Structure 1
Amino acid sequence: MSTPTATRLRAGAASVTVRSTTSAFVTSWALRYFGPWWKAAAMPVDEVLAGPLVTANVDGQAYDDLAAHVTAGPHDKVTYAKAQLLLVRDSTGTGTGTITAVSPAEHLAYRSEPFAGHLAVYGRAPEPVALAAARLAREMIRAALLRDGWTLLHASAVARDGRVVLSFGSKGAGKTTTALLLASRGHQLLANDRVFVKPVGDDLRVLPWPAAAAVGLGLLDALGLYDVVRERLRAGEQLHPTQHPEVTAALLAGRRDPLWEPDGRRERKVQVFPDQFPGWFGMELATEGRVGALLFPRVDAAAVPALVEGGRTLGEADFMSGSTEDRYPDVFGLAQGIDPAGGVLARTTVAEHLAVLPHRQVALGHDSAANAAFLANVADDL
C-alpha cells in the first residue's frame, strides 16, 4: 500500500479534500487539474479531520464487493458521465441516505454519504479513479458555492487587473474564440465555458469553473496554436484523456480540418488541461475578479470584425440550468434541494447587475489576427 496522500481544493468559502491511501496519482491529478484556477494544495493526511471529503482508491476487491451489493437486488439505472450507472439507496430504515452505485463499463464503484459530506470511489485503475474523484470533488464545491449564494453562468471570461469581461452565446457563437483571442492579447483567461458569479455589495464577483477546454482543430489552427500542440504530442506529452482518439490521430497526422461525430451534429475537439494554457500557450490564468463588461460575439466566415447594432438581454440559456446539466445528474445527493442555476432570486439579482454594465455585440470573421486586434480595442473601450 502506498503512502496516503491528500489534496485540498478551495474556491470562495467552499473546500473539499481528495484523499487516497493507494495511489498518489489520484491526488496529484486533482492538484494539477484544479491548481491553476482553484486554490488546490497538497496537505498532510493527518490534517484531514473534517469537512467535505472524497476518498478515492485503486482497490479491485472493494469494487467487486460494491458491485455485488448493487446487482444482488433491485436497483435503478441512470446515465452518468455518458456511462450506465446502477445504483441503490439505503433501505435499512437508518435514515443515513447512503447511496451505492457501480459503473460496470468503467469498473468504478461509489458509496455516497451526503449527510456526512463523504463520497468514496473505488476502481481497478488509477486514471478512471482520478477522473471520477476530480469530477465529484468539483460537484461538491459547486453545491457548496450555490448554497452560499453563487450562480453559475454559461459564459467565457477573461480578466485584466481584476476586471472581468464575460462573453455570452450559444454553442458555436464564439465564446471560446473571444476568450482565447483576448488571452493572447494580454488578458488572463478565467473561464472557457462557465463561471460562478455572486453579488457582493456593488460588485459582481467571479470565480472560475475548472474544466478541460474544448477547442476545435480549425480554431486551434486559426489561433496559431496547432503546431505547438502537435509538437508537444509528438514529444510524448498528452492532452486530457476525454479527448477522442481520432482527434489525437488527426493532430499527429497534421490534419487541420474539423472532425465530426458520426451524426455530423457535434465537432470532436481537442481537450486542453487548464495548466496547458500557461504551460503550452503562454496564456496567464486568473483565479477571480469582478465583472466589468459583457460581450456577445457572433462568428461569420465572411464577416469583417465589427460592432453590431441592437441590444441583447440575458435569457435562461445564459445560466447553467438543470436542462444544460443532464450529463452529470445529482445521483449522489450532493446538491439536494439546490437549483443547479443558483435559484430564481439569485439569477434575477445577477441579471440586474449585468444589465447596467457596458455591453457590446460583435461580429467576428475567420481572420484571427484581425479578430484579436479588434477585440482588444473593444475590451479596452468598454
Structure 2
Amino acid sequence: MTLYATRIHADTATLTVVSHDQGVASWAARYFGPWWYASGVEALGPDDSADGDAVVFADVNPRLAGSIAALVAEDVHDETEYAGTRTLVARRGSITYAVQPDEELAYQVDSRRLVVAGHQAEPVAVAAARLVRESVRGRLARAGWTVLHASAATRDGKAVIALGGRGTGKTTTAVLLARSGWGLLANDRVFARLEEDGGVAILPWPSAAAVGIGLLDAIGRYDSVRARLAEGERLHPTQHPAVTRALVDGRREPLRRQDERELKAQFFPDQLADWLGLGLSAEARVAGLLLPRISPMATAALAEDDHEPSEADVFPTGKEDRYPDVFGLLPATGAPGVAALAEHLAGLPRRSVVLGHDAEASGALLAKVADELTAAP
C-alpha cells in the first residue's frame, strides 16, 4: 500500500510526515510550505525509509486510536488541556501516550517516532502539523533558538520585528509591510537566535495566520475573502464559526470573545499569498525593531513611548499558553542565552509608531521607518 510523505526542514531540524492518506501529507506541505521548506514525496514505498531525524506517522486508523485510548484509560494518567482540547496523558518509559476523546485522536510519541491516529482525515492532519511544529521547536531550542512574541517582515535578507503584547498591532504591522513589498516572515511568533558574529537570525513559526475582520476591511480584502467563502472555499479549520458566519453575512465589525480577545479569520500560509496577495519569507537577520500601538482615531505617526526588549518578550518553553509540552519534546531548561538575546535586541535601533485605521497612511509610515531601520550596512 502506497505511503505518501512530506519532508520539512528548518535550520538543522529535519522531519518527515508519512501517511497512507495523500491528503494528510499534502496538508503538511501546505501548512509549512515555503516557511519551513516543505516538499512532498509522492510515492514512498513500504520498503523505503524517510530521511531525517524524526518521523510523524499520521493516519485515519480507528482501531489504533482505540487501542491507544484503552491503554491510557487502563494506566495511570493525567488530564490537561492541549490545543484547547481535553487531553488524557499516560507515560511508559520514554513513550508518551495521549488521547483527546472529543476529537477522537490518539498519540504515541517518543523523540524520533511520533504517531497520531484518528477517525477522520482533517483532525489527523491538524494534529500531525502540531506534532511536527513541537518536534521541530524542540530541536531548534536545543540549537539555541528562542520563540519571541513578535511579528517580522523582511527585505533583502534584513528584517524588522514588531514587539508588544496582544492587541498592540504586531500582525497589522507585518501585513501592512507585506503589502508594501516586504516579505511576511511571522505575524505573532518568531524563532530568534543570537549568532556568533553578533547578529540575530530569525526563522518563521508556521501557524494559521490570524487576521482581524477590521484589518481585512482596511486593506481592501474583505469583499474578496467573503466571495471565496460564499463560493464554498474554506479558511483554516481552527477558525471560530462565528467569524465564518460574520464574513458570509457581510458583517464588518470586529468580533470578541468573553475575555475581550478578538476572534480573527485564520488563513493557511498559502492563502496569505493567494487570497491576500502577500509574499512570504523564510529567514533573515534582524536590523531593527518596531514598537506599534493601534489607536483607531489617531493619525499614523511616530510616538514617544518606548518598550525595551526583555525576557518578557520570550515564550518560555515550560510555560506555553496553548500548547504545553505534554509529549516531552522540548528541553526542560529552555534555550540558552535568552538574557543575552534580549540584551542584544535592546541595543538595536527601534522606533515607536502609532497606527490608525487609515491603512494607506499607516502602511506608508511603516515602510518609511522600516527602510530607515534597515538602511545601515
Shorter-chain TM-score: which interval? Answer: over 0.9
Aligned to 1:28: 26
Of 121, 141, 145, 2:140 maps to 145
Aligned to 1:62: 64
SS of alignment partner, residue 241 of structure 1: coil
Unaligned runs of 5+ in 1: 91-95
Change over 3 Å in CA distance of 1:212–1:308 after alignment to 2: same
Of 218, 225, 228, 1:229 maps to 225
Instruction: Please say if 1:270 is aligned against 2:268.
Output: no
Aligned to 2:55: 53
Moved more, 281-290 or 227-236: 227-236
Q: Is the contact between residue 310 and residue 346 of structure 2 (CA under 8 Å) also seen in structure 1?
A: no
Q: CA deviation at 1:322?
A: 4.7
Partner Cα distance (1:338, 1:25) in 2: 36
Q: CA deviation at 1:73?
A: 3.8
Instruction: Please say if 1:246 is aligned against 2:246.
Output: no
Of 328, 351, 370, 1:379 maps to 370
Q: CA deviation at 1:306?
A: 1.1
Q: Is the contact between residue 143 and residue 338 of structure 1 (CA under 8 Å) also seen in structure 2?
A: no
Instruction: Please say if 1:97 is aligned against 2:94.
Output: yes
Q: Is the contact between residue 16 and residue 52 of structure 2 (CA under 8 Å) also seen in structure 1?
A: no
Partner Cα distance (1:50, 1:207) in 2: 19
Of 356, 359, 368, 1:368 maps to 359
Partner Cα distance (2:332, 2:318) in 1: 16
Q: CA deviation at 1:130?
A: 0.3
- State the AA in 2 paired with 1:11: A
Aligned to 2:4: 5
How many pairs align?
A: 368
Runs of 4+ in 1 over 3 A off after TM superposition: none
Partner Cα distance (2:89, 2:175) in 1: 40
Q: CA deviation at 1:113?
A: 2.0
1:341-352, aligned counterparts within 5 Å? 342-343=335-336, 346-352=337-343
Q: TM-score, normalised by structure 2?
A: 0.94
Q: Is the contact between residue 8 and residue 32 of structure 2 (CA under 8 Å) also seen in structure 1?
A: yes
Aligned to 1:154: 149
Of 302, 306, 311, 2:301 maps to 306
Partner Cα distance (2:349, 2:76) in 1: 55
SS of alignment partner, residue 220 of structure 1: helix
1:249-260, aligned counterparts within 5 Å? 249-260=245-256
Unaligned runs of 5+ in 2: none
Q: Is the contact between residue 141 and residue 331 of structure 2 (CA under 8 Å) also seen in structure 1?
A: no
Change over 3 Å in CA distance of 1:311–1:254 after alignment to 2: closer
Instruction: Please say if 1:134 is aligned against 2:129.
Output: yes
SS of alignment partner, residue 36 of structure 2: coil
Identity %: 50
- State the AA in 1 paired with 2:40: A
Aligned to 1:93: none
CA RMSD across the alignment: 1.5
Q: CA deviation at 1:323?
A: 7.2
SS of alignment partner, residue 37 of structure 1: helix
Q: Is the contact between residue 318 and residue 325 of structure 2 (CA under 8 Å) also seen in structure 1?
A: no
Change over 3 Å in CA distance of 1:160–1:146 after alignment to 2: same
Instruction: Please say if 1:71 is aligned against 2:70.
Output: no
Q: Is the contact between residue 146 and residue 338 of structure 1 (CA under 8 Å) also seen in structure 2?
A: no
Q: Is the contact between residue 299 and residue 364 of structure 1 (CA under 8 Å) also seen in structure 2?
A: yes
Listed one character per residue, the Cα deviations across residues 220-256 of structure 1 (whole Å, up to 9, x for unaligned) are 1112111121111122211000001111111111110
Q: Is the contact between residue 16 and residue 56 of structure 2 (CA under 8 Å) also seen in structure 1?
A: yes
